[in-house]
Amino acid sequence: MNFLEAKILSDAVVKPGNILKIDNFLNHQIDIGIIRQIAQELCQRFSDAPVSKVLTIESSGIAIAVMVGNLLNVPVVFAKKSETANSTDEKYLSQAYSFTHKKMNNVYVSRPYLLYSDRVLIIDDFLADGQAVHALIDIASQAGAEVLGVGIAVEKGQQQGGRMLREAGYRLESVAIIENMDCQSQTIRFREQL
C-alpha cells in the first residue's frame, strides 16, 4: 500500500452516491506533506517525459499542479470555469459537466498561455468520469500542443474516465486507484499497481 492509499484509508469518508470525501487533506484543507509526496510520485512516474507546461483546472487541481510545476520547474496553467472582466484575450474553449456542482461548466484557457510547441502534462486531483480531463485534452489539442500524459492523485476506477483515457492511448498515471468502496461498511479497496 502506498502513502496515498494509506492516507485515504485513515482519513477518507465514503458517502452515499459513490462519493469519496477527502476534503480534509486534498480539496478544501490541503495536507502539504501529502501533496508534496503526490507531486514527487507523479514526477517520478513521468520522469522520462520532456514536460514544458503543467495544465490543470481550477480550483482543486491547482495545489498539486503547482507542486508538480515546482519540481519540474515549468509554468503551470490553470483552465478557468468563468469569464473574468479582466481578460479580452482570445480563448480556447471547451465544456465539462461537474458532478460535484451538478452543472455544465465552460472551461477555457487564454490562447497566449498554450502554445503549439508545448508538451503538456495534465494534472488533477480526482478522475471519475473524466469530464475535466477531456476538456483539458480538447483545449490542448485546439492549441496544437502535445499531451504527454495525465497525472491524477485519486482515480475512481469504477467510473469510466480512466478506462476511456487508457483505451484512447493516453498515458495515465494515478497515485491511487479505487477499485470499489462501500459506504455502509466504510471499506475501500484499491487496484493493484506495479
Q: Interface with its own copies by CB under 8 A: which residues?
A: 15, 17, 19, 21, 23-24, 28-33, 35-36, 58-59, 62-63, 66-67, 69-70, 73-78, 80, 82, 84-87, 99-102, 109-110, 112-113
Is the link from the previous residue into 10 a cis peptide, with omega within 30 of 0?
no
Residues in contact with 79: Cβ distance below 8 Å, sequence separation at least 6, in sequence order: 55, 56, 57, 58, 107, 108, 109, 135, 136, 139
Nearer to its own copies, 63 or 137 (CB): 63
Nearer to its own copies, 182 or 193 (CB): 182
Nearer to its own copies, 33 or 50 (CB): 33
DSSP 8-state class, residue 96: E
- Give the span between the Cα atoms of 19 and 75, in whole angstroms: 32
In whole angstroms, the minimum distance from the beta carbon of 78 to its own copies comes to 7
| Total Cβ atoms within 10 A of residue 186 | 12
In whole angstroms, the minimum distance from the beta carbon of 167 to its own copies comes to 28
